[in-house]
Every structure is written in structure tokens, then in C-alpha cells.
Amino acid sequence: QVQLVESGGGLVQDGGSLRLSCAFSGGPFRQYVVGWFRQAPGKERECVAAINRTGARTFYADSVKGRFTISRDNGKSTAYLQMDSLRPEDTAVYSCAAVYSVLLQTTESDYNYWGQGTQVTVSS
């Protein structure tokens, strides 16, 4: 059974940085596309970044382009989200998700495995 466990969330000041990790187990990680999603109170969950199997292709939401970087280490079965220049509007629960796919996926319904989420709070 595939399992995803996020870590690295917390409280940071406006302009600060955080690095989220997503540890994957229970399957061949290098055959899964990984996405990072976030959900703020009262808002729908949105995909902020996604990465294909090899790491050669990535997707970023317009709101995080130039500030967030998604990456993966297939040898460690772990994906990362480096978040720089954080803003109060980035405050949300961040979750990683995975799907067995050859195509880069950016929609919530495309993913079938989810982590429990980690809180990121950016204070002004």
C-alpha cells in the first residue's frame, strides 16, 4: 500500500523559507508523478507544483512561480518543495500526492494517494 508522509511545515515570517519533504513508501517511487497541493481555510485545494517521473518536467501555479521549487530524489523515494519568499497568502495546509502515471498531472482528481498534510503559516 502506497503511503506518503509530509514533513517540514511550520511557522515562518513574511519573506522566509521552508522546505517540505514527502516520503514515499509501498511502491516503485520512480514510476509515480508527484504533486504538492495546498488548501487555505474557506478555499478550494489547489495544485501548486507537480513533477514527472524523472524530474525533467515540472508544473507551477502562477501564484508560486519563481518562489517555489519542486524536486525529487528517486534514490531516496522522496519529493521536496522548496518555498522561498513566503507570503502570508501562502498560509495553508500543504499535502503531497502521487499517481502512477507517465503524464504530468495537475488536477486533484488525477491523484489517488495522499499524505496527511502539514501546516504552513506565514506571519506578516
32-68 per-position pLDDT tens digit? 999 999 999 999 999 999 999 999 999 999 999 999 9
Residues of the chain with pLDDT under 50: none
What's the pLDDT score for residue 96? 98
3-state SS, one letter per residue, for 7-66: ECCEEEECCCCEEEEEEEECCCHHHEEEEEEEECCCCCCEEEEEECCCCCCEEECCCCCC
pLDDT at residue 45, rounded to an integer: 97
pLDDT at 5: 98
Q: How many angstroms separate the CA atoms of 66 and 83, rounded?
A: 10
Q: Write down the pLDDT at residue 46.
A: 97
Strands 118-123 and 10-13, by their bridges, are parallel
Greatest CA span in the chain, whole angstroms?
Answer: 41
Q: What is the pLDDT of residue 88?
A: 97
Residue 75 has a pLDDT of: 98
Q: Give the pLDDT score at 17.
A: 98
pLDDT value of residue 33: 98
